[in-house]
Chains A and B, each alone.
Chain A
Amino acid sequence: MTTAVDMSHYVRSDKIEALPPPRLTRGPLAWMRENLFSGPVNTILTLVVLYLLYVTIPPVIRFLFTDAVWTGTDRAACREDTVGHPVGACWAFVIEKINFFTYGSYPAPERWRVNIFFLLLAIGVGWLLWLRAPRRDLGAVYFFWVFPVASYILLTGGNVDFGGGFWLTFAIAAVALVGLLVAAAYFLQTSMRTALIIGLGIVAVIGITLAFIEWDFGLLPVPTALWGGILVTLLVATVGIVFSLPFGILLALGRRSKLPILRLASVIFIEFVRGVPLITVLIMANTMLPLFLPPDTGVDRLVRPLVGTAIFASAYMAEVVRGGLQAMPKGQYEGAMSLGLNYPQMMILIILPQALRIVIPGIVNTFIGLFKDTSLVSVVGIFDLIKTIEASRIDPNWAAPTISYTGYAFAALFYFIFCFGMSRYSIGMERRLAAGQKR
């Protein structure tokens, strides 16, 4: 009774200072009791898992390290009957074949060109992925223009023969493009000077690119049939990744467009490409793409699967990006529209930066899937890393029981390093971008 009366007339006279949280039991033993043996079920599970680890881990360690052979020049080094003890992975095989795994049949005296390509690629990726790198705008120009052109010239040798009259055609096309843009600006009543600058810029970029490709740098031409190994794997993966994101974004925007034709086209494209296996897309790109094009254009046999993977990955990317767009609250669109931003500005400045951040895990997931799917290009006769391993493991010089396992273990390691790297980077980036910007 008295307390009830007291409680109804209560005025706080002092402020309770913040106290540290109660001290929990800490230390490894407490942690184990809490996390591993907190009940009978968990205890049994822990013991089962420990037993499974005991059964699987030691043999793997034995195969990969303790019983592995690190040096040797032929199969004798890796056969149990010749060395006299059980043999695990035959790393000597990988070391001997590493050049083939890296360059395929790229001519040995020209392999420095591939090394420079790897270096340029590493610089470009580093420049773009390091969020605090200086001049990332220049990095983008480098990665999306300088690097592809330089790589093309380095890897193929450049010196493409466009044939007589090409530059005349180009000049006419250039004038037509600039004229078209200026005319469009005139009819849309926007700045004609901007249109002129944009038109000349496009013409200049294309012209310079073509001029470089045609220029004779004195490099030995290397047909793509000779390329192989990690070179091809990284090339296909890079092209797929670089093209899939912008195309995916465009497809996602198209699918959400108010224009029925655009929407229908995007839906058909996405659903069709997603509905067929990558192998089908690759085989179709390989055999059917040349049918659609004029016979004398002769699409390179490496370009076909490049187009195939890029198309395939874009369709998946489109759906990932669409998920992000759908997660955006309507208020963000309205806020942007009420300020007078037009559609491209609203999308580029407000919606996409937020939507893409939401789907970073999905985007990287698609990238990782794409990276591993590049191994399927071997189906259409491209010598990627898997195909070079396949070709090497049947080399009679290295006929030994564990050669195949060693080769596949090497492939697994290679793919794992790249995919794990992507995964860690995306986690780091999510954390950085989330800092201080919680809604």
Chain B
Amino acid sequence: MPVVMDADRISRALVRIAHEVVERNRGVENLAIIGVRSRGVPLARRIAAALKSISGDDVPVGALDITLYRDDLMRQTVGPQPLVRRTEIPFSLDDRVIVLVDDVLFTGRTTRAALDALVDFGRPRAIQLVVLVDRGHRELPIKADYVGKNIPTSRRESVHVRLSETDGTDEVSVESEA
């Protein structure tokens, strides 16, 4: 189980991304961060904290559950439904730049669902995508604006992101499916 990012690498990647966000948007004004449930949310909070220490300003943070927008939701004929969790976006999206945060970018389908969901909340000026890991194998024309680490993988492998908030430890590992 090769660990490809440890706590230190993850932390440095997020700080770097925060700097890139500030640079690209010339500050944090009119910015909001939305994490995709579940591990995108703690990542979003960490980036917001980094932005605060860089800029001194609070950036609003939201949590987005994309379950109801999944394109595979009703494709299985019979089976239990995936759990739906609460979406919490306590601010308006209109005319804001939304920084969407997810842990792993793979096929792009989750991001597609997230984009569809965000549009239902309002009309952002722009949406930018942050991922901790880009592992390739895109199935949709989607590209991240900020990447913590590009990790070339085979389709048979799986990437596991563990975060202290949800899993008690910070690490990214690549595991090959048996």
A, B in one complex: no
